[in-house]
Amino acid sequence: MTIKHKYNAVRTVRDNISFPSKKEARRYDELVLLQEAGAVCFFLRQPLFDLGGGTTYKADFLIFWRDGTATIEDVKGVQTKSFKRAKKQVEARYPVEILIV
């Protein structure tokens, strides 16, 4: 039985990793290529950010670039109210900006 996702996302597997959407899997592919090309030192999948009170936010990627910068990315097809709220909380608590891909 196939369960339809409410935002029409299709679960996709890359390198034995199950991604919740094709879009997130494509971004993973891009990051792998950027790492092989030397533009990205390394990247982490699903880093957790503590929001206090036992609440955490899980981003899609934390990317460490060759130029010494780091970015946090969340791959979104639809920006829900809960995502917008969590994004504001993370950006208020930490000196970061979450980029939406």
Q: What is the pLDDT of residues 67-87, one digit of tens each?
A: 999 999 999 988 999 999 999
Residues 42-59 as b or e (16 or more Cβ within 10 Å = b): ebeeeeebeeeeeeebeb
In the chain, pLDDT over 90 holds for what percent of residues? 81
For the stretch 28-61, pLDDT in tens is 999 999 999 999 999 999 999 999 999 999 999 9
> How many domains does the chain fold into?
1
Structural domain includes residue 6: no
Structural domain includes residue 1: no
Domain that holds residue 40: 12-100
Say if residue 1's pLDDT is above 50: no
- For 33-64, give the DSSP string: HHHHHTSEEEEEES-EEEEETTEEEE-SEEEE
Say if residue 3's pLDDT is above 60: no
